[in-house]
Amino acid sequence: MYTVSKLFTYIFLPPGIFIIALLLAALYAKRFRSVFVSVALFFYLFSNSFVSDALMKPLESQYTNDLQITKNADAIVVLSGGSISGSKNLPLGSDSLKRVTWGVFLAKSQNLPLVFSGGGLNKQYSESKAFLESIKEFQDYLNIHIPISKYLQLHHFSVCVENKSLNTYQNAQFSKKIFEQANIQNPIIYLVTSAYHMKRAEMIFNHFGFRVIPAATDFKIGDNPKTIWDYFPNMQAFKNSYTAIHEYFGILSLILRKVL
């Protein structure tokens, strides 16, 4: 029964149902048959786990949980990853929540200040506001004290918010100003972001004079053995493929701008 239910889910929920519809259209169409087949193949390739993992692996594989610990670090910098306006609790997006949780773990254990960087496009409910509300829940439910500071407080655990940035470039640009206000010109930071995003983030933060220690989290692929179900299209694999391709274009854009 479970197998039938799972098979039904893969076939009749997106993107599987789209692939079937496109193949049926190709079967009965008198024109553009090759177009329908090509689009169906595109959806299938990018929505199965083998292809999505192959795209994601080069981005994630160089980062592990073996964190390089240094006594010279100035701070933890956590990059935002979205928020959910109107959420009943923990209003950070799933990627962002993992980044913040890992960042707080590191900042607390290393007794370092944490800089959260992210404003977002929603002016009524910024990502930094979602961060502060989530931090309040951490304090209330876990009974831990997380000091909030308007400016960077060096040499002890505290939280500082950068709330203007709209993208990774601005994350680095506005974060650098926070460190400059604290008279640190070439900051040594633990950079916390999703593993798939770390390569591009490192490139940008290095450009602004940061010395980056990668502290990746939110890994999208693991070492679980593949099964026959991984051949079926699923939305998570399609999302991972999209995310990976987006990162490759972002990295290519940085390379071309540097060359130009």
For the segment 234-249, the average pLDDT, to the nearest whole number, is 97
Q: What is the pLDDT of residues 54-66, one digit of tens each?
A: 999 999 999 976 7
* Whole-number pLDDT of residue 243: 97
* Whole-number pLDDT of residue 2: 64
What the block records as the tokens of 75 is 């701070």
For the segment 26-37, the average pLDDT, to the nearest whole number, is 91
Between residues 122 and 91, the one the model is more confident about: 91
Confidence of residue 260 (pLDDT cuts 50, 70, 90): very low
What are the angstrom distances between the C-alpha of 253 and each of 79, 130, 214, 250? 20, 30, 21, 5
For the segment 118-130, the average pLDDT, to the nearest whole number, is 90
For the segment 118-135, the average pLDDT, to the nearest whole number, is 92
Q: What is the pLDDT of residues 69-85, one digit of tens each?
A: 888 999 999 999 999 99
Neighbours of 61 (CB within 10 A): 11
Confidence of residue 122 (pLDDT cuts 50, 70, 90): confident
Question: Is residue 179 within 8 Å of 75, Cβ to Cβ?
Answer: yes
* Whole-number pLDDT of residue 66: 75
For the segment 168-197, the average pLDDT, to the nearest whole number, is 97
The overall average pLDDT reported for the chain is 93
Four-residue CA torsion sign, 152, 157, 163, 166 = positive
Q: What is the pLDDT of residues 186-208, one digit of tens each?
A: 999 999 999 999 999 999 999 99
pTM for the whole structure: 0.93
* Whole-number pLDDT of residue 13: 86
For the segment 28-39, the average pLDDT, to the nearest whole number, is 91
* Whole-number pLDDT of residue 187: 97
Between residues 8 and 18, the one the model is more confident about: 18
Q: 118: alpha, beta or left, given left = phi > 0 and alpha = psi -120 to 50?
A: left
